[in-house]
Amino acid sequence: MRKQRRFSFARENTQGRKMAKQLTEQMEPEIGVKIDDRYCSRCVICSSICPFEAISRDKETGEINLDIEKCQVCGICFSACPVSAIETLYYNVNSLISYVEKSMRKTGFNRLVLTCRGTSPLQRKTMDELKKSGVVDFISLRLPCVGRVPPEFLLKALALGIEKIVVIPCEEDYCRFEKGSMIGTRRFLLTQALLSQLGFSSDTLTVIRSLIKANINVYRCIGCGDCAYACPYDAIKIVAPGIAQINPDKCSGCGLCAAVCPVLAIELEGFEYESISQSISNYSSLIPEMKSKGKTPVILVFCCQWSEFPTLDKNQSLVKENVMLLELPCSARVDPLHILEAFRLGFDGVLVAACEKSECKLEEGNEKAEERISSLKKLLAQVNLENKLEICFTSPKYIGELDRHIKSFIQKISSIPETPHGGESEK
C-alpha cells in the first residue's frame, strides 16, 4: 500500500492540522500534488489528460515531471493515475472516505451528494431535481472539481453503506478546469455501468448538471450598460432602452456584473447581495467577543473559491479566531459595498484573496477585482482606511499560502493604530 497522507480535510483531523501548521512554517512551500517516481509506471496517462499541459515525460530518462508553475491542482491526474503514483494533499481517497464515514455516523444519512464548487451553493432547480429523486437528507461533499474523484472512492463509499450517490458537476463547457467535468462525468458513467453489472440498481449513481448563473431584475435595471461593458463573456446585451438581458448560455457565473451594477439589479445565484451582507453581519457579531479576548485585529477575508482548497471545505464555520473567511465564486464578485459594510461593522481589516495573475478560472476576474480595490482605496483614504484593505494573489498549489498572506496582513495592520471607524453605535 502506498503511504496515504491524511490532510486537514475532516474537521476532527487534528493530526492533519498539526501537519498543515508545520508545513506553513517551513521555508519552502509544500506543493499540493506530487508524482512519486517509485510507483510511476510511466504510462503517460496523466500527461495526456492534464488540461494545463503541466505534466511531461522526459525524453531521455522517461521520467514523468510535473511543472508546478503550470499546474492548477485540479487533481484530474490524481484520479486518472492507474497505479496511484500521484499524491495529492487535498481530497485524497482516505480523507474523503473518513469524511463520509464521520458524517454518516453523525447524521445517519446514507445519501451522498458530490458537488463541484462551480455548481454550489445548489440552485433551486437542482434542489428540486434532488427532491424529485428522493434525495432530501444527504451528506454534502463539496470539491473544487468532480474530475478529481477516482472511482475507487465511489466504490468505497458504497461499501460503507451509502445507498445513493448524486454527482453535480458543472456543465461541460463551463468547467473551471477545462476538462474536469467531462472526464469526471465519463468516469461516473463507466462506474455506473460497472455498478449495474455488479447488481446495483441504475439510480445508485446519478449525474445532474448545473451551474450558477447571474440573473437580472429588469424592473430595477436602468440600462446604463456597465454590466454589458464589463462582462468578460459577452453574455449581456442592452436589448431595449433601460433593459439589459443576460444570455444564460454565455454566462459563466463569475458575478462581475453583480459587483459593478450601480443599482444592484443583478444577483448571482447563491451569492446574492443580501445573503453576503447577512454573512458579514453574522460574522461581525463575533467581533466584540474576539476583542474582549484580546484577539485583535479582527479581519475579514473575501476568498475566491479557486484560490484556496481545503480551508473552504471544512464544512464548519470559516471562523478561525480573529480571521473570518467569506467565500465567493470568483474575486470578480467582490463587491466594494460589502467591503465598506465590513469596515462599518467594525472589522479592522479586509483582505481579498484572488487567484494568481494568470490563473483566474474565470476570465481575468482577479484583475478586475484589483482595479476595483484600488479605486475603492481612494475612497477609503478619505476615512484613513486605505491601508487596511489589501488584495493578495494566492494559489492552492502551495500549501498554506493563504495562511501566510493572512499572517503578513495581520502583521501589517497591527502596526497601524486602530481607528473607531465602525462597530455598534450607541443609540
Partner 1 sequence: MIVTKEKPLEEILGFLTPYKKILVVGCDGCTTPPRGLREAKTYSTLVEMSGKLNNKNFECKATTVAKQCDNHDCATTLTPQIENVDAILSLACGVGVQTLVEVFPEIPIYPGQDTIFLGSQDRDNANMYEKCISCGDCILDETGGICPRTRCPKGLLNGPCAGHMDGKCEVDREKDCAWVLIYRRMKDTGQLDKFRAFRKPRNYQISTSPQQIVWK
By CB under 8 A, residue 224 contacts partner 1: yes
Residues 227-246 that bind partner 1 (CB under 8 A): 229
By CB under 8 A, residue 341 contacts partner 1: yes
Strands 111-116 and 139-143: parallel
Of 382 and 415, which has the nearer Cβ to partner 1? 382
Evaluate the CA torsion angle 393, 397, 403, 404 in order and state its sign: negative
Rounded distance, CA 262 to CA 228, Å?
A: 12
Stretch that binds partner 1, among 15-23, 221-229, 282-290, 314-322 (CB under 8 A): 221-229
DSSP, residue by residue, 5-27: PP-TTSTT-HHHHHHHHHHHHSS
Torsion angle of the four alpha carbons 395, 8, 80, 359, in this order, in degrees rounded to the nearest 10: -10
Stretch that binds partner 1, among 180-188, 297-305, 326-334, 413-421 (CB under 8 A): 413-421
Smallest gap from residue 229 Cβ to partner 1 (A): 5
Stretch that binds partner 1, among 130-138, 293-301, 341-349, 400-408 (CB under 8 A): 341-349
Q: Which of 376, 395, 398, 396 is nearest to 386 (CA)?
A: 376
Tell me, rounded to whole angstroms, the distance of Cα 333 from its chain centroid.
13
Within 10 A of 74 (CB to CB), how many other CB atoms are there? 28
Radius of gyration for the chain, computed over Cα atoms and rounded to the nearest angstrom: 22
Residue 38, C-alpha cell as written in the block: 517509485
Q: Which of 93, 107, 165, 157 is nearest to 133 (CA)?
A: 165
Smallest gap from residue 245 Cβ to partner 1 (A): 18
**Maximum C-alpha span of the chain:** 76
Site map for partner 1, 18-57, x if CB under 8 A?
----------------------------------------
How far from 360 is each of 112, 116, 169, 304, CA to CA, in Å? 30, 17, 19, 10
Q: Which of 136, 198, 240, 379 binds partner 1 (CB under 8 A)?
A: 379
Stretch that binds partner 1, among 54-62, 133-141, 259-267, 287-295 (CB under 8 A): 259-267
Rounded distance, CA 235 to CA 73, Å?
A: 28
By CB under 8 A, residue 209 contacts partner 1: no
Of 317 and 384, which has the nearer Cβ to partner 1? 384
Of 62 and 242, which has the nearer Cβ to partner 1? 242
Residues ≥6 apart with Cβ < 8 Å to 285: none
Interface with partner 1: number of residues (CB under 8 A): 27
Stretch that binds partner 1, among 126-134, 173-181, 324-332, 379-387 (CB under 8 A): 379-387
By CB under 8 A, residue 344 contacts partner 1: yes
Rounded distance, CA 406 to CA 404, Å?
A: 5
Smallest gap from residue 278 Cβ to partner 1 (A): 15
Let me know the angle formed at the C-alpha of 339 by 337 and 341, rounded to the nearest 5 degrees: 70
Q: Which of 383, 387, 404, 416 binds partner 1 (CB under 8 A)?
A: 383
By CB under 8 A, residue 421 contacts partner 1: yes
Smallest gap from residue 13 Cβ to partner 1 (A): 40
By CB under 8 A, residue 218 contacts partner 1: no
Stretch that binds partner 1, among 167-175, 262-270, 279-287, 304-312 (CB under 8 A): 262-270
* Residues engaged in binding partner 1 (CB under 8 A): 222, 224, 226, 229, 261-264, 336-337, 340-341, 343-344, 379, 382-385, 419-423, 425-427
